[in-house]
A and B are shown apart, each in its own frame.
Chain A
Amino acid sequence: MACLARIRDSGDEAAFARLFGHFAPRVKAFLMRSGADATLAEEVAQDVMATLWRKAHLFDPARASVATWIFTIARNRRIDALRRARRPEPEDLPWGPEAAPDQAEALALQQESARLGQALATLPEKQRVLIEKAYFGELSHSEIAEETGLPLGTIKSRIRLALERLRHAMK
């Protein structure tokens, strides 16, 4: 989180190197699990990390963890590179991320995300495999059965609150 702010504010290359060290290998693994070979995955992972530098100002820590935000960039690149399909994006919120997001709110969201990760790790094997297949692009939407028991309630409420605060701040 702090690394992204330093990239955004001062083009800090050391901060970028730290993020790269953690996330580039994870993006590469994500792409390979989605069907890319090692060469393509390496290439796209570099591209994803370069995009992260360029778009650091769009990251909103009150609405997504760093891992979640990088996932969305990697997913979009995967669609371009592997499926050559278009995925229209929702309209940007007219106000974008706050210049100085509430630290406590942002921290709470990051903790909520960590908790979600733990919860996913303890799901029954069958349900977990289904979710992985869905996210690595092996299931159509009609094959994604009703997902009961996914612990999404608190994280959703938190994002919802962040949206409401932004909307309120705009009035």
Chain B
Amino acid sequence: MTRISHHLTDALLMAYSAGTLPEAFSLTVATHVSMCDECRARLGAFDSIGGALLEEAAEPMAGDSLAATMARIRAAGGTPRARPPAPRRTGVLPAPLCDYVGGDLEAVRWRPVGMGVKQAILPTAKGATARLLYIPAGAAVPDHGHRGTELTLVLKGAFLDDDRRFGPGDIEVAGAELDHMPVADIGDDCICLAATDAPLRFRALIPRLAQPFLRI
């Protein structure tokens, strides 16, 4: 497991634990947690807040509810079902992403967006969008700011943003205050998962004209 140095925020983990994130953000959080034991443990801690809240209050069940539940269980086959453990990951994409792509990296249907950059928009509910980005070694994603939140999770390769380096498993959480221009590391092409809950605002004219077509 690679060393991960950029993690999820508490607010994102709490909202994911509570189940209130838009789908595109949930996908990104689930993918990062699949790669990062530190955040898997932190998520476990946030889930235990949910457990503590569950213990707080009780509401009487209907009189026949236990019998009704046992009937449901018998209708579904009765004996508790054992399941073989999940297979070890062999490809690049963690399982939650594979579900959206329909396979590993080779199944991604890339669309060129210029300057060698490619993207594939993933099918998620409205409220936020998720896309895979392919940035050739040394290329830049145009300088942009945000209205909402942008999450960028590295799956392969690395990118640099100012003096910070993001490698596989690292996630950048950018809020409205950040203007930035991520650049793929020189060594290797960079593939990342990016999720936003508002359109990005580009500084330069040309990306702004292209924006409706890129759906960035």
Identify the A interface with B (CB < 8 A): 7-8, 11, 13, 16-17, 20-21, 23-30, 32-33, 38, 41-42, 45-47, 49-50, 53-58, 63-65, 67-72, 74-76, 78-79, 83, 85-96, 113, 116-117, 120, 131-132, 134-137, 139-142, 144-147, 150, 152, 155-157, 159-160, 163-164, 167
Which residues on B sit within 8 Å (CB–CB) of A92?
A: 85-86, 95
When the two chains form their complex, are residues A20 and B66 in contact, meaning their CB atoms are under 8 A apart? Answer: yes
Query: A91 and B94 in contact (CB under 8 A), knowing A26-B55, A140-B20?
Result: yes
In the bound complex, how far is the Cα of B76 from the Cα of A11, in angstroms? Answer: 14
Could you write out 9 A-B pairs with CB less than 8 Å apart? Answer: A29-B58, A47-B72, A53-B73, A70-B51, A71-B47, A74-B54, A116-B52, A142-B148, A160-B41
Given A53-B80, A87-B26, 15 more A-B residue pairs with CB atoms under 8 Å apart are A21-B66, A23-B54, A33-B57, A49-B69, A50-B72, A55-B80, A75-B19, A86-B26, A120-B53, A135-B18, A135-B53, A141-B25, A141-B149, A146-B11, A167-B37
Query: A64 and B72 in contact (CB under 8 A), knowing A76-B19, A91-B96?
Result: no
Identify the B interface with A (CB < 8 A): 10-12, 14-23, 25-27, 30-31, 33-34, 37-38, 40-62, 65-66, 68-70, 72-73, 76, 78-83, 85-89, 94-96, 99-100, 124-125, 148-149
Which residues on B sit within 8 Å (CB–CB) of A33?
A: 57
When the two chains form their complex, are residues B125 and A85 in contact, meaning their CB atoms are under 8 A apart? Answer: yes
In the bound complex, how far is the Cα of B73 from the Cα of A139, in angstroms? Answer: 35
Which residues on A sit within 8 Å (CB–CB) of B57?
A: 26, 29-30, 33
Interface of B is mostly: helix
Q: Which of B10, B37, B72 contacts A146 (CB 8 A)?
A: B10
Min CB gap B45→A, angstroms: 4
Q: Which residue of A lies closest to B86 (CB)?
A: A92
When the two chains form their complex, are residues B66 and A17 in contact, meaning their CB atoms are under 8 A apart? Answer: yes
Interface of A is mostly: helix
Q: How many A-B residue pairs have CB under 8 A?
A: 238
Which residues on A sit within 8 Å (CB–CB) of B59?
A: 25, 28-29, 32, 38, 41
When the two chains form their complex, are residues B54 and A134 in contact, meaning their CB atoms are under 8 A apart? Answer: no
Q: Which of A46, A74, A152, A159 contacts B65 (CB 8 A)?
A: A46
Q: Which residue of B lies closest to A160 (CB)?
A: B41
Which residues on A sit within 8 Å (CB–CB) of B47?
A: 64, 68, 71-72
In the bound complex, how far is the Cα of B177 from the Cα of A142, in angstroms? Answer: 13
When the two chains form their complex, are residues A134 and B149 in contact, meaning their CB atoms are under 8 A apart? Answer: no
Query: A142 and B149 in contact (CB under 8 A), knowing A29-B58, A92-B86?
Result: yes
Which residues on B sit within 8 Å (CB–CB) of A29?
A: 56-59
